Amino acid sequence: MLADDDTRPKYNSTYLGINDTYNFFEDTSFISLLKHKGSNSSNIGEVLKVLESWRNKYNISVVKECSRSDYCSGEFRDLVLAYNNIHGYVSLLICLFGSLANALNVAVLTRRDLASAPINRLLKWLAVADVFVMLEYVPFAIYSYLLFPGQEDRPYSWAVYMLFHMHFTQILHTASILLTLSLAIWRYIAIKYPSYGPALCTDRRCSFAILSSFLLPPILCIPSYFVFTIHEDITLESRPSKVYFVDSNHENSLYQINFWVHAVVIKLLPCAILTVISAWLIRVLYRANSRKKALKGYNACPADAVVNTNGNVFTRKSTKRSKAERRTDRTTRMLVAVLLLFLLTEFPQGILGLMSGTLGRCFFKRCYNLFGEMMDALALLNGAINFVLYCSMSKQFRTTFGQIMRNRCVNTPRASSHTELQTTYV
């Protein structure tokens, strides 16, 4: 989430409401500062104190950046702001649960009976990317929302961490997007072209897809490295002091390029591809469900031997679906659930990013930043809930997870005292 600098005072002579007949240069304190501008006793703090006294004395109104914009106003804005007040607690709970859940995903998917399948390899690295995002988000949430909520006087080291936090989470989250896209394409090929699946979906191609998913994000995020930088400002709250924050250089042409790359290439294009694949997979599942119902109706006759009108007896062939077909359908349902949850999370972010690039900086400041905490929570929830989906929709995953838990809980036989003595002195 980018730092919002709307709280910094912006003075504009057009809207200050100052009496034009008043001459500020008649103020003795200001004249004194001008006379001693070259001396060591005069500093920026004294100038700011004089300016602040003028603002209080003559009721000068402070105009915030984009404060006159009507973007994202109304009761819905108040509702989102109310959630933002509890976002720190919500995100921290999601991160703690998600980190544990994804660690369990990695533990289960690396078992010998699951690790060989390319789909499971993609799911494993998806869990790895998600767990790093959540672990890194924990200190950010604790500092920003729990320890020092609303603090403006942030040191330079915090601005450096914010810059790292923004780029780190964006790169790994983009890796998660590419892994999810690879997962969908992999499943599409396996179901659409079953005869060519073993030749196309090889372990080597799977390794290439995983490696590309982690190498491409740093390249795709290059524009943001130059757009978002550390800025310095002066606060006039309790005492004049310097504050540091991360903000965009909106006058740079890379500002527009970054939003188009982030919105179209990273968000909307994968969402469009996943929408098509998800719709096709849902269609396949619907057909499989219809075929299953038809088979149940055909199996309603209890007898295996059937006599036709001519008196000939024949044996009906078993139409029960095979175990492999049922497992394929379960896996497809699980992946469809993962893809739909991903679309629910990423599609709104892509739309907001596209509108920010189209409508300009005020939309970004008023709307994108407003929904930032909520989008963060959805993205974290998307990565945390996969464990629940795997357990509820994959029998093999549940079985392997149960074996791991039983092995951990079984008490190992106690060693003899002689062995314990030897172990102690080794």
pLDDT tens for residues 96-108? 999 999 999 999 9
What pLDDT score does 171 carry? 94
What pLDDT score does 299 carry? 55
Do 158 and 244 contact (CB within 8 A), yes or no?
yes
What pLDDT score does 201 carry? 79
pTM for this prediction? 0.73
What pLDDT score does 95 carry? 94
What pLDDT score does 12 carry? 39
Q: Is the dihedral of CA 239, 242, 244, 248 positive or negative?
A: positive
What pLDDT score does 72 carry? 80
What pLDDT score does 328 carry? 67
Query: How long a stretch of residues is the chain?
Result: 426
What pLDDT score does 106 carry? 93
C-alpha torsion angle, residues 355, 270, 165, 353 (rounded to 10): 0
What pLDDT score does 248 carry? 75
What pLDDT score does 116 carry? 83
pLDDT along the chain (426 residues), means of 10: 40 41 52 53 56 60 62 82 90 94 93 86 93 93 84 78 91 92 86 78 89 94 86 67 74 76 87 87 77 62 49 48 64 79 86 81 82 89 86 82 82 44 31
What pLDDT score does 31 carry? 56
What pLDDT score does 15 carry? 39
- Tell me the percentage of the chain whose pLDDT exceeds 90: 18
